[in-house]
Amino acid sequence: MAKILVAEDEPALLESFCELVSALGHTVLAASDGDDALDLARREQPDLVVSDYMMPGRTGVELMLALQGDPVLAKVPVVLVSAARPPRSEIALAWRFLGKPVDLTILESSILEGLAASQARGPHAGFAPQPGPHVSPDSLAREDMLSWVAHEIKTPLSAALTLAELTMRGFESGETPDTTAKRLVKMRRQLLRMDELVNAALDAAQLQEGGMEVELVPTDFRELVERAVHYFGDLYPEVAFELADGPSVEIEADAQRLRQILDNLLSNAVKYGAKNGNVEIWLAATDRSASVSVKDYGRGIPQSELPHIFDRFHRVAGSGGRGHGLGLYIAAALSRLHGGEIGVESTPGGGSTFTLTVPLHRREPV
């Protein structure tokens, strides 16, 4: 029985890949980020590593470099999996590269062949692709866009297809209806995520072109915040959402778009906050405006990143590719359509606080 380390930050894919490895009769070592994966590898000395390309902490490439720099782990084969298009020089570091969505049959054969190579313990041999021709800046920009689309859409697509294939295998093997139902729930969640990503891309394009309008009507600001907090509390029961007492105030807003801003701030607080930590939310008001602040206790944002945090496609360094880089861009643009703004305060190691401020009454967007 071999030990196989699976490093993948998408929970549905991590669970599915681990299930596949277990079905092959091997011991699974599971990690949801690159740092944990390296710690596990040094402690358990796996025979094979299956790693995602973009992860929190260390990326898949950084993990491979760390493994190859360790005398004990240097020759452990690594199957690199990615929805993006890594540079050829990075693909060359892997024993094998598989694009997402991953065909489970191909993944199975790659695992078996990788274990055979591990037992042989021969010298590391990657693909060693040849350097490509010189490309123009415009081509690089298009390539970046294609990589974004590929990674953000194909990651949930890969998870959904993997769950579908496991469900089909389950029908053949006679798995319980409860197991099938759980897989279908997870599959639906991934498809909804894809829909969210497509909508985000469309919103971003519409905002950039100045084609989006908001319908501002009297809205109970506190009630809207309470509904958002309760929704996320049900969605993430392991996280403590603490909504402090605050004023009840009516503003002029597009409730749907304002809720979109709140959902983004709360989602980011969960995504980038401390594991199983708490998120604090509080409201404030003046005679001209109302505000809501969302604070997490995660790793924080480097000061050098703060001026770019609301830029389109911007990801904070060290986030490992989490998030599609459009959420804060859209949230900031929507706040401006309300005549408001979003501010951020952050200390590395001390978490981040995002504050949405909107006027009580209609005024021209800034």
pLDDT tens-digit map of 170-214: 888 888 888 888 888 888 878 877 776 677 667 766 776 676 778
Residue that is written with structure tokens 């911007």 in the block: 314
Tell me which of 234 and 150 has the higher pLDDT. 234
Which structural domains are found in the chain, ordered by start?
3-120 (3.40.50.2300), 137-208 (1.10.287), 217-359 (3.30.565.10)
pLDDT, position 148: 57
Question: What pTM value is reported for the model?
Answer: 0.54
Answer yes or no: is pLDDT of 160 > 70. yes
Angle at 10 between CA 114 and CA 271, to 5 degrees: 145
User: How far is Cα 132 from Cα 182, in angstroms, rounded to an integer?
Assistant: 44
pLDDT band at 314 (very low <50, low <70, confident <90, very high): low
Which residue in 37, 169, 184, 180 sits closest to 108, CA to CA?
A: 169
User: How far is Cα 310 from Cα 314, in angstroms, rounded to an integer?
Assistant: 7
355-365 pLDDT, tens digit each: 999 999 865 44
> How is residue 110 written in tokens?
């790659």
267-282 pLDDT, tens digit each: 889 888 876 679 999 9
- Report how far Cα 121 is from the mean position of its chain's Cα atoms: 34
User: How far is Cα 149 from Cα 24, in angstroms, rounded to an integer?
Assistant: 33
What percent of the chain clears pLDDT 70, i.e. is strictly above it?
83
Which residue in 119, 127, 30 sits closest to 76, CA to CA?
A: 119
Helices vs. strands in the chain: H and E counts, helices first: 10, 12
Answer yes or no: is pLDDT of 1 > 90. no
In order of 49, 183, 225, the CA distances from 245 in angstroms are 49, 39, 12
User: How far is Cα 65 from Cα 42, in angstroms, rounded to an integer?
Assistant: 13
pLDDT, position 151: 62
Amino acid at 242: E
User: How far is Cα 211 from Cα 277, in angstroms, rounded to an integer?
Assistant: 39
User: How far is Cα 305 from Cα 307, in angstroms, rounded to an integer?
Assistant: 6
Q: What is the DSSP string of 269-286?
A: HHHHS-TT-EEEEEEEE-
Could you tell me how many residues make up the chain? Answer: 366
User: What are the φ and ψ backbone dihedral angles of 26, each rounded to 5 degrees?
Assistant: -115, 160
Average pLDDT score over residue span 98-118? 89
User: How far is Cα 32 from Cα 13, in angstroms, rounded to an integer?
Assistant: 10
User: How far is Cα 31 from Cα 36, in angstroms, rounded to an integer?
Assistant: 6
> How is residue 316 written in tokens?
């904070």
Which residue in 239, 316, 246 sits closest to 282, CA to CA?
A: 246
Tell me which of 345 and 312 has the higher pLDDT. 345
- Strands 78-82 and 96-99, how do they pair? parallel
- Report how far Cα 200 is from the mean position of its chain's Cα atoms: 14
User: How far is Cα 259 from Cα 163, in angstroms, rounded to an integer?
Assistant: 31
116-147 pLDDT, tens digit each: 988 876 444 443 333 344 444 444 444 555 55
Angle at 347 between CA 343 and CA 351, to 5 degrees: 80
> How is residue 131 written in tokens?
């350097």
Q: What is the DSSP string of 290-316?
A: EEEEEE--SS---GGGGGGTTSTT---
